[in-house]
């Protein structure tokens, strides 16, 4: 499986792109594992940081309702 970010973007993951980040969050608002998403280790770290920043800014939920 190829990394989504290596293939499709310039490598930058922006915390303001909530529609993209929601693809990598489970139904319970947990960050999905690398083996489930197919993202490489480098981008998984950046993805987790972007999701955490978006949660801190109130753009993404911390937990499902």
Whether residue 63 lies inside any domain: the answer is no
Whether residue 62 lies inside any domain: the answer is no
What pLDDT sits at residue 32? 96
| Band of pLDDT at residue 8, cut at 50, 70 and 90 | confident
**pTM across the whole model:** 0.89
Whether residue 8 lies inside any domain: the answer is yes
Higher per-residue pLDDT: 20 or 1: 20
Whether residue 64 lies inside any domain: the answer is no
Domain that holds residue 40: 4-57
Contact 39, 24 (CB under 8 A): yes
Whether residue 26 lies inside any domain: the answer is yes
We report the CATH number of the domain holding residue 52 as 4.10.640.10
pLDDT digits (tens, 9 = 90+) for 17-36: 999 999 999 999 999 999 99
Residues whose CB falls within 8 Å of the CB of residue 24, separated by 6 or more in sequence, listed in order: 31, 32, 37, 39, 47, 51
């Amino acid at each position: 499986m190829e990394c989504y970010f290596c293939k499709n973007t310039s490598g930058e993951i922006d915390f303001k792109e909530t529609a993209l980040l929601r693809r990598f969050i489970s139904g319970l608002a947990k960050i999905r594992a690398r083996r489930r998403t197919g993202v490489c280790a480098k981008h998984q770290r950046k993805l987790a940081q972007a999701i955490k920043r978006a949660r801190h800014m109130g753009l993404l939920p911390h937990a499902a309702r």
